[in-house]
A and B are shown apart, each in its own frame.
Chain A
């Protein structure tokens, strides 16, 4: 006998993501999910973003890693609340992990919550966490051909950060080709070249993020 099920497979994750989204809306918190491969500079970019926006917004960070708390310690050393999630081998973050981490934060005192996802260009793209925007970081040494190999993540990101831009002269990175492939995958996504550890280019990225946060707030008001 055939019985209808008609349910999303990630039903549980999607329901919890919707709950997270409601919780964030209740407290007017903008949530950014940062995706990249290991070593692209996620933590450095988050630190540069904090430096650019901390006078304007109160910021907290959720760090997702398979093991260790080195990233959360780095963020905390800058006086910003950080929660470390250890996935223990899982290659991406899911909504219930975010919820448990959020429960340890004072959401009422936070304007911008940045989630550093596990370093991976594949799995995190399919998991809604309740965030407002997913952005991805590619670093110059990884090569301009990455969008050909991992198209989905470029197609889903709202913005693409090109990090370690200061190393462009020593790598065989074709910026024009990179931009044209990104545009073909995702016409609406802006590309922000930055050097996170030096602070170069961060203003344009921070201005874009501010625009997104303010748009959310106006929508909520």
Chain B
């Protein structure tokens, strides 16, 4: 969909945090993406490669953690995991559910080098 805009958001937040820590470079950016968003991993990596040069995250690895949908049944309070579009309670068959996880679009953490950090990039 709009992975370019998403990656712009990722880079802005990563650089802001890195600058606050006086980092010299960003080695890894960890993001959590819910399966219910319309984000495609390949397009995300492509956009990251295209937009990161010239930023502190140039050459950094984008690590994507996918979050599977989980919901809570409104009828019987059971919580359960499900696919993208089949939220049906396995306990009572109810399909009025409150989504607990699955729509994440979040930056978890970054791995950075600080001034004087001469250690080469660690393997992921």
Q: Assess the B38–A5 pair: CB atoms within 8 A.
A: no
Instruction: Write out, one digit per residue, whether chain B residues 2-14 have a CB within 8 A of any chain A CB (1) or not (0).
Output: 1001100110111
Instruction: Write out, one digit per residue, whether chain A residues 1-34 have a CB within 8 A of any chain B CB (1) or not (0).
Output: 1111111111111000000000000000000000
User: When chains A and B are docked, how far (Å) is the Cα of A184 from the Cα of B87?
Assistant: 8
- Asked if A188 is an interface residue, CB under 8 A from chain B, the answer is yes
Q: Assess the B85–A6 pair: CB atoms within 8 A.
A: no
- Asked if B111 is an interface residue, CB under 8 A from chain A, the answer is yes
Q: Assess the A6–B109 pair: CB atoms within 8 A.
A: yes
Instruction: Write out, one digit per residue, whether chain B residues 72-104 have a CB within 8 A of any chain A CB (1) or not (0).
Output: 000000000000111000000001100000000
- Asked if A164 is an interface residue, CB under 8 A from chain B, the answer is no
Q: Assess the A3–B2 pair: CB atoms within 8 A.
A: no
Q: Choose from B14, B37, B84, B113 the contact partner of A5 (Cβ within 8 Å).
A: B14
Number of interface residues of B (CB under 8 A): 34
Contacts A5-B17, A123-B2 given; does A11 touch B108 at CB 8 Å: no
Q: Assess the B84–A151 pair: CB atoms within 8 A.
A: yes
User: When chains A and B are docked, how far (Å) is the Cα of A173 from the Cα of B95?
Assistant: 26
Instruction: Write out, one digit per residue, whether chain A residues 114-154 have a CB within 8 A of any chain B CB (1) or not (0).
Output: 00000000110110000000000000000000000001100
- Asked if B55 is an interface residue, CB under 8 A from chain A, the answer is no
| Closest residue on chain A to residue B37 by CB atoms | A126
User: When chains A and B are docked, how far (Å) is the Cα of A5 from the Cα of B113?
Assistant: 15
| Closest residue on chain B to residue A188 by CB atoms | B96
User: When chains A and B are docked, how far (Å) is the Cα of A2 from the Cα of B63?
Assistant: 13
- Asked if B67 is an interface residue, CB under 8 A from chain A, the answer is no
B: which residues have CB within 8 A of A? 1-2, 5-6, 9-10, 12-14, 17-18, 21, 23, 31, 36-39, 84-86, 95-96, 105-114, 117
What 7 pairs between A and B have smallest CB-CB spacing?
A9-B9, A151-B85, A5-B107, A123-B1, A9-B105, A187-B95, A5-B17
Q: List 10 A-B contacts (CB under 8 A).
A: A3-B110, A4-B109, A5-B17, A7-B13, A9-B105, A11-B9, A12-B9, A12-B12, A91-B1, A122-B38
A: which residues have CB within 8 A of B? 1-13, 90-92, 122-123, 125-126, 151-152, 155, 184-185, 187-188
20 further interface pairs, Cβ-Cβ under 8 Å (given A5-B107, A122-B38, A152-B84): A1-B111, A1-B113, A2-B111, A3-B17, A3-B18, A3-B110, A4-B108, A6-B106, A8-B107, A9-B9, A11-B9, A12-B9, A90-B5, A123-B38, A126-B1, A151-B85, A152-B38, A184-B95, A185-B85, A187-B96
